[in-house]
Structure 1
Amino acid sequence: MTEDEDSVRKDWTVQIAIDEYDGRTRATATLRGRGQETTGIGLARCNPADADIADIGDELAVARALAALVQQLRTSTVHDIEESTHQPVTALR
């Protein structure tokens, strides 16, 4: 796609921070865009019977944090559509 005079560029960024404590992993995904900030948190813990592989905990915690962001975005979108149209939204849920 080429940019022309009518195109508009909008940048949204996601920053993910991961911390580990006591066999648990927490990921915080922060979405910034439109002058707003939304945060999703994902948690993972290692089953004591499993080998402790940090990458797996990181991946699961990040996936859960991003899923939380998705849910918040959908909820916000539904709200905005319903406010605009004064009709209930059922297809996005």
Structure 2
Amino acid sequence: MSHTTEWKTRVYLFEEDHTTKVRVELDTGTSRLTGHGTARGHPTDNDVPEIGDELAAARALENLAAQLKLIAYHDMIKAGSAPEELSPTAYGGWMDSVLMR
């Protein structure tokens, strides 16, 4: 069975007073989800907005990923193929071993 679809995302970044907030909106065509992430810089840190943007966006995407995993697990349960274990982490894959070094 072949399947092709398009999901639309929008990423919004807001920065004020050493705090960056990110909202990621995902529209799958059948549902809409919103992920949130925040990064705070210490007042004595150098002002490098890109770092706050990257960290807050990563956290928002992790939040969104966790939501998607929960939806997938619930759908699997409804379909009668419940996973043996529900993973609490947002990502599980080959990058875990690279990132843990």
Q: Same fold (TM over 0.5)?
A: yes
- Which consecutive unaligned segments of at least 5 residues does structure 1 have? 1-5
Aligned Cα root-mean-square deviation (Å): 1.7
Question: Where in structure 1 do 4 or more consecutive aligned residues deviate above 3 Å?
Answer: none
Is the aligned partner of 1:50 residue 2:41? no
Query: Which of these two proteins has the greater Rg computed from alpha carbons?
Result: 1
Task: Normalising by structure 2, report the TM-score.
Answer: 0.77
Deviations 1:42-76 (A, max 9, x none): 00011223111000000000000000010000010
- Which consecutive unaligned segments of at least 5 residues does structure 2 have? 88-101
Counterpart secondary structure, 1:34: coil
Task: Normalising by structure 1, report the TM-score.
Answer: 0.83
The count of aligned residue pairs is 87
Counterpart secondary structure, 2:79: helix
Identity of aligned residues (%): 34
Q: Offset of 1:90 from its aligned partner?
A: 2.7
Which structure has more strand as a fraction of its residues?
1
Match of 2:20 among 25, 28, 42: 25
Is the aligned partner of 1:13 residue 2:13? no
